[in-house]
């Protein structure tokens, strides 16, 4: 599996949710499951293994809320680097040569609009997370499940800076090495309008993988959207 294979016009099967899978192993709702990369790595590995066995060609890392801001809520901000690095190592060990590993960066949980965090603060947090992730050599950094487009932009900037600090190339979805991707939830506004019948389905950007498992769509809507993606120009 090569990075460029994700953009050759075919559907690439990715993994699914990690949090609910870890809940099956005893994780409590609201618990900092990113910490499990250090405290219970064998259970995190079982989730990664299960997705590989199911045929996923891309798996993520258990680092969705592993930015310093989110980790601070549980008192684990000091473990930020170790948690992120371990997350990549676990997924890489499970993936082998069968799948690519995209390092996950999710939202901070703080709203820019209400000034719970500043852009500078967010950029520093995402940069630190990305630097730790990139140091373990994932195939890509995936900024996912962000409904606030401005936060996604700040995360992208922080991730690019983090990759640069780690001494790795920071190409934006253009190379076959490590690249920066945006998940489909960056299309949140367009998807909402389409779901309500107010607009045609959005055409997926060439540099976007549609990892749609966290979008509130019915299964028939999801099938329709994939069909639309397959016929959309570009």
Q: Which pLDDT does position 26 carry in this prediction? A: 96
CATH number at residue 53: 3.20.20.330
Residuewise pLDDT in 10s, the chain (234 residues): 676 666 666 677 889 889 999 999 999 998 999 999 999 999 999 999 999 999 999 999 999 999 999 999 999 999 999 999 999 999 999 999 999 999 999 999 888 877 888 999 999 999 999 999 999 989 888 888 877 778 888 888 888 887 777 665 443 333 333 344 444 334 445 555 555 666 555 554 433 343 434 444 455 555 555 565 554 444
Residue 209, domain extent:
3-231
User: What is the domain count for the chain?
Assistant: 1
pTM for this entry: 0.76
Q: What is the 3-state secondary structure (H, E, C) of the chain?
A: CCHHHHHCCCCCCECCCCHHHHHCCCCCCCCCHHHHHHHCHHHHHHHHHHHHHCCCCEECCCCCCCCHHHHHCCCCHHHHHHHHHHHHHHHHHHHCCCCEEEEEECCCCCCCCCCCCCHHHHHHHHHHHHHHHHCCCCCEEEECCCCCHHHHHHHHHHHHHHHHHCCCCCECCCCCCCEEEEEHHHHHHHHHHHHCCCCCCCCCCCCEECCCCCCCCCHHHHHHHHHHHHHCCC
Q: Which pLDDT does position 183 carry in this prediction? A: 40
Q: Which pLDDT does position 153 carry in this prediction? A: 81
Q: Which pLDDT does position 225 carry in this prediction? A: 53
């Amino acid at each position: 599996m090569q990075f460029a294979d994700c953009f050759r016009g075919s559907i690439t099967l990715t993994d699914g949710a990690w949090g609910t899978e870890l809940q099956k192993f005893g994780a409590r709702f609201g618990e900092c499951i990113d910490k499990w990369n250090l405290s219970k790595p064998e259970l995190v590995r079982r989730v990664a293994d299960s997705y590989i066995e199911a045929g996923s060609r891309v798996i993520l890392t258990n680092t969705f809320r592993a930015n310093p801001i989110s980790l601070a809520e549980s008192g684990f901000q000091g473990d930020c680097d170790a948690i992120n690095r371990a997350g990549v190592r676990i997924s890489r060990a499970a993936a082998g040569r069968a799948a690519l590993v995209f390092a996950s960066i999710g939202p901070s949980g703080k709203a820019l609009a209400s000034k719970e965090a500043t852009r500078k603060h967010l950029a520093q947090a995402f940069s630190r997370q990305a630097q730790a992730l990139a140091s373990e050599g994932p195939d890509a950094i995936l900024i996912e499940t962000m409904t606030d487009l401005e936060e996604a932009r700040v995360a992208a900037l922080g991730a690019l800076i983090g990759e640069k600090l780690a001494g790795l190339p920071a190409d934006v979805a253009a190379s076959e090495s490590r690249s920066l991707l945006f998940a489909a939830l960056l299309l949140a506004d367009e998807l909402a309008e389409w779901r309500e019948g107010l607009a045609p389905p959005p055409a997926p950007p060439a540099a976007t993988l549609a990892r749609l498992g966290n979008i509130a769509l019915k299964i028939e809507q999801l099938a329709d959207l994939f069909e639309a993606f397959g016929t959309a120009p570009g």
